[in-house]
């Protein structure tokens, strides 16, 4: 169905891979290949898949052990990229720094697959200020941009000149996009163009800034996942998340095509 709808791949965690494959690694890989689908893997350093009631207050060392194990397992599935849910928001700056210093060393053990850390609530990179600090401290730190989380955490549109300056400095570090429109009170909206036209335009501008930066860096690929989830991300069980996701994918294909037509560039 994903192939039929025009998706290029899937983004999923180890838990979901095991569920989808019925613990048969080769079946999973063969099914992806048969339907011409790439894999973006998700690695969690704690709180896997955000199962309610499963969050744990872990040490930096425990997070790193989890990351080492998940990276080792995920690379077996030949992902084109790995998205990492990293750390936890209640650490000190020193703890965040220790984590990323050592996490980057773990990532370097797998030079054939790129990996990036997501800007997500509850994680180390839960707001733009601490994210800017970390990329300044670690210039080779790469990011997954899920800016919908920052709107909620900061409770503002992040369109103040000081906010935009932070974003301009953060965007060159982005390798992967989560294209979901949220507002200052909700992680995702039901209809981006109708329910949140201001936020939709703002976030589209940021995503195109990422595309501009990727072109400037000479990258040959930028990945984007239209990430809309069921309740509680959706406001109710009545939201047709599947249709919403497909619409966002189709909208981003059109937006990317329009953007690339304005550029003298052939990725």
Model confidence band, residue 82 (pLDDT cutoffs 50, 70, 90): very high
Q: What pLDDT digit, counting tens, does each position of 169-215 carry?
A: 999 999 999 999 999 999 899 999 999 999 999 999 999 999 999 99
Q: pLDDT value at position 21?
A: 87
How many CA atoms are closer than 13 Å to the CA of 229, on its beta-carbon side? 12
**Are the C-beta atoms of 199 and 157 separated by less than 8 Å?**
yes
Residue 110 CA to residue 129 CA, distance in Å, equals 29
Tell me the percentage of the chain whose pLDDT exceeds 90. 87
Cα Dmax for the chain:
51
Q: Which domains occur in the chain, in start order?
A: 2-265 (3.20.20.150)
The residues facing 13 across adjacent strands are 42
Q: What pLDDT digit, counting tens, does each position of 130-182 carry?
A: 999 999 999 999 999 999 999 999 999 999 999 999 999 999 999 999 999 99
Q: pLDDT value at position 137?
A: 98
Residue 206 CA to residue 210 CA, distance in Å, equals 6
Is residue 267 scored above 70 in pLDDT?
no
Is residue 128 scored above 80 in pLDDT?
yes
Q: Which two tokens stand for residue 78?
A: 């030949």
How far is CA 148 from its chain centroid?
11
pTM recorded for the entire structure: 0.95
Residue 236 CA to residue 164 CA, distance in Å, equals 32
Instruction: Classify residue 228 by burial, with Cβ atoms within 10 Å: 0-12, 13-18, 19+.
Output: buried
Residue 234 CA to residue 188 CA, distance in Å, equals 7
Residue 126 CA to residue 33 CA, distance in Å, equals 35
Q: pLDDT: is 20 or 151 the higher one?
A: 151
Q: What is the mean pLDDT of residues 121-130?
A: 97
């Amino acid at each position: 169905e994903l192939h039929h709808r025009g998706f290029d791949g899937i983004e999923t965690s180890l838990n979901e891979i095991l569920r989808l494959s019925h613990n048969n690694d080769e079946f999973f890989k063969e099914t992806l290949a048969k339907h011409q689908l790439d894999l973006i893997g998700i690695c969690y350093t704690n709180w896997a898949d955000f199962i309610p009631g499963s969050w744990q207050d872990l040490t930096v060392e425990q997070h790193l052990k989890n990351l080492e194990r998940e990276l080792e397992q995920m690379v077996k599935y030949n992902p084109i990229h790995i998205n990492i849910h990293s750390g936890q928001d209640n650490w000190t700056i020193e703890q965040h720094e220790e984590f990323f210093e050592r996490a980057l060393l773990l990532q370097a053990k797998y030079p054939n697959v790129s990996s990036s850390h997501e800007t997500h609530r509850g994680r180390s990179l839960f707001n733009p200020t601490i994210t800017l600090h970390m990329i300044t401290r670690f210039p080779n730190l790469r990011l997954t941009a899920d800016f919908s989380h920052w709107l909620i955490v900061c409770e503002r549109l992040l369109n103040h000149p000081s906010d935009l300056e932070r974003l301009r400095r953060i965007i060159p570090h982005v390798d992967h996009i989560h294209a979901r429109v949220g507002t200052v009170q909700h992680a995702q909206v039901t209809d981006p163009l109708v329910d949140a036209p201001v936020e939709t335009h703002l976030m589209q501008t940021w995503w195109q800034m990422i595309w501009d930066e990727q072109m400037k860096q000479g990258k040959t690929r930028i990945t984007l996942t239209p990430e809309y989830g069921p309740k509680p991300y959706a406001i109710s069980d009545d939201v047709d998340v599947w249709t919403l996701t497909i619409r966002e994918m189709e909208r981003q294909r059109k937006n990317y095509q329009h953007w690339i037509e304005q550029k003298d560039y052939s990725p």
